[in-house]
Amino acid sequence: MSATAEMPYFINPSKNLSKEEKLEAYEMAEMAINANLDEAQLMVMKMSTINCILKTYLPYYYWVGFYLVHKEALVVGPYQGTLGCLHIDFSRGVCGKAAREQKTQLVNDVHALAQGKDHIACDPNSQSEIVLPVFDKNKNLIAVFDVDSSLKNSFDEIDQEFLERILKRHFEERALQKGICANEVV
């Protein structure tokens, strides 16, 4: 299946990296994320900043963002990219599978999956994807983190290792205040 939708002026097609380039980019991104967020506590601040820094350093990140667990489903949270689906049931898509199994999902070719059931195409340009569960310090699932590429085979064990470590550090190991306002708990 080919990608057909025209990309908006502020979105570029993905560019894959060699393993060496990818490692170097993640090392710089991880340092920038830790430097900016180690003292941060607000969930929305952490999510927005992680999206921005990763998308800046990794040129195959076409869509990057968080879906938040809300009323036993996933709702779109902070993201960068084209318009994301607003609601995703736990029973559907790669995001739903990551939430159900509470395990990272790597998909080399999203069009090989059953469309509408095992994969939800918010943007037909997406071709490969990684989705990771996000936990708080009590190991409760609070979100999934989703990255899409407009090329096949963009994600591998390097992405998985760096992203699992980044998410653990900033949502499990450090104080997390949900919401936007300092006194808000959602």
Q: Which parts of this chain interact with ligand SME (CB under 6 A)?
A: 63, 84-85, 88, 93-95, 119-120, 122, 126, 129, 146, 148
Residue with smaller CB distance to ligand SME, 67 or 162: 67
Q: From the CB of 120, what's the least distance to ligand SME, in Å?
A: 4
Residue with smaller CB distance to ligand SME, 119 or 170: 119
Strand order in the sheet with 63-70: 87-88, 73-80, 63-70, 141-149, 128-135, 105-107
Q: Which of 138, 44, 141, 66 is nearest to 100 (CA)?
A: 141
CB 46 within 8 A of CB 169: no
- Residue closest to ligand SME when measured from CB atoms: 93
Amino acid residing at 164: E
CB 145 within 8 A of CB 163: yes
Q: Could you tell me the two tokens for 105?
A: 């999902």
Residue with smaller CB distance to ligand SME, 146 or 159: 146
Residue with smaller CB distance to ligand SME, 86 or 180: 86
Q: From the CB of 179, what's the least distance to ligand SME, in Å?
A: 23
Q: From the CB of 126, what's the least distance to ligand SME, in Å?
A: 5
